[in-house]
Amino acid sequence: MEGITYLFLNAMTVASILMVVGLGLAIIYGLMELINFAHGEFVTIGAYTLVAADLLGGSFWMALLCAPIVGALFGILMERVLIRYLYDRPLAVILATWGVSLIIRQGIQLTFGAKGFGVSDPLVGTMSIVGVEYPVYRLFLIVTALSIMATCYLIIRYTRFGLDVRTVIQDREMAACMGINTRRINLMAFSAGSALAAIGGVLIAPLGNVLPHLGLGYLAKSFFVVIVGGVGNIAGVAAGSCLIGGLETFFNYHIPVSLSQALVLILAIVIVRYRPQGIIPK
């Protein structure tokens, strides 16, 4: 029983990380049909917001509040200066965002240096939950990720902005005919996606080491999550992250880690082969 609880909690930790990172990507990819290769760098920007807060004597909680603002500002800047000129050229967007990712990564390296930063755990110690001892910070991570998902779901489902977003996803031209300012929606979606990635960065940072290429490692995984889960909806992201995170954690218990990562990749390919629209299509 204890083993199963641990397995579940570990799977949820990995799924939570993938959720927050994947969610922003899903919004940008699902709504604007743009492949944003710089998404990982927004995760890095979030993590470095925490490093900056740490260096300036601030706290984790302050960084958690600031990061989405910083992320959104960078997102708006990128959309205004670059992306909006390329909406009709999706291939150019891939190249452009890739270029931006290089610039951001090197910029961070020039500002903060190439060496990593270790950020202290904001919540130390373990806590007893359904009969097992589990690190408090991981529980916090899971709860936060789930609340972010829930909030996004509520916004998309019940607000005017959400309605506009869903309309644009369904049919961009028709939405424009109905008087929805699709360019404004694009800008908002892009900055929201970037803000979410930055929150993800802050949440991930205490688990490991903050480096200029931190986000890169999460980029491929989060693309997977979005594609396997289903493009263009939040439930798809949740399903995708739980599947990938769950499988990875489960395999890690039984077979060597390198092999298990490969196996997850193969399974994801098989799923996409037989269900190209994802687990939960839009």
**Site of interaction with another protein (CB under 8 A):** 6-7, 10, 13-14, 17, 109, 114-121, 124-126, 133, 135, 137-138, 204, 206-209, 211, 213, 217-218, 249, 252-253, 256-258, 261
Nearer to another protein, 155 or 263 (CB): 263
Q: How far is the CB of 122 from another protein (least distance, A)?
A: 11
Q: How far is the CB of 217 from another protein (least distance, A)?
A: 4
DSSP the chain: -HHHHHHHHHHHHHHHHHHHHHHHHHHHHHHH----TTHHHHHHHHHHHHHHHHHTT--HHHHHHHHHHHHHHHHHHHHHHTGGGGTT-HHHHHHHHHHHHHHHHHHHHHHH-SS-EEPPPSS-SEEEETTEEEEHHHHHHHHHHHHHHHHHHHHHHHSHHHHHHHHHHH-HHHHHHTT--HHHHHHHHHHHHHHHHHHHHHHHGGGSEE-TTTTHHHHHHHHHHHHHH-TT-HHHHHHHHHHHHHHHHHHHHHS-HHHHHHHHHHHHHHHHHH-TT-SS--
Q: How far is the CB of 267 from another protein (least distance, A)?
A: 17
Q: How far is the CB of 9 from another protein (least distance, A)?
A: 8
Nearer to another protein, 48 or 117 (CB): 117
Nearer to another protein, 2 or 171 (CB): 2
Nearer to another protein, 231 or 244 (CB): 244
Paired strand residues for 210:
117
Nearer to another protein, 61 or 158 (CB): 61
Q: How far is the CB of 32 from another protein (least distance, A)?
A: 21
The count of other CB atoms within 10 Å of the CB of residue 179 is 7
Q: How far is the CB of 210 from another protein (least distance, A)?
A: 9
Q: How far is the CB of 1 from another protein (least distance, A)?
A: 14
Nearer to another protein, 35 or 216 (CB): 216
Nearer to another protein, 6 or 98 (CB): 6
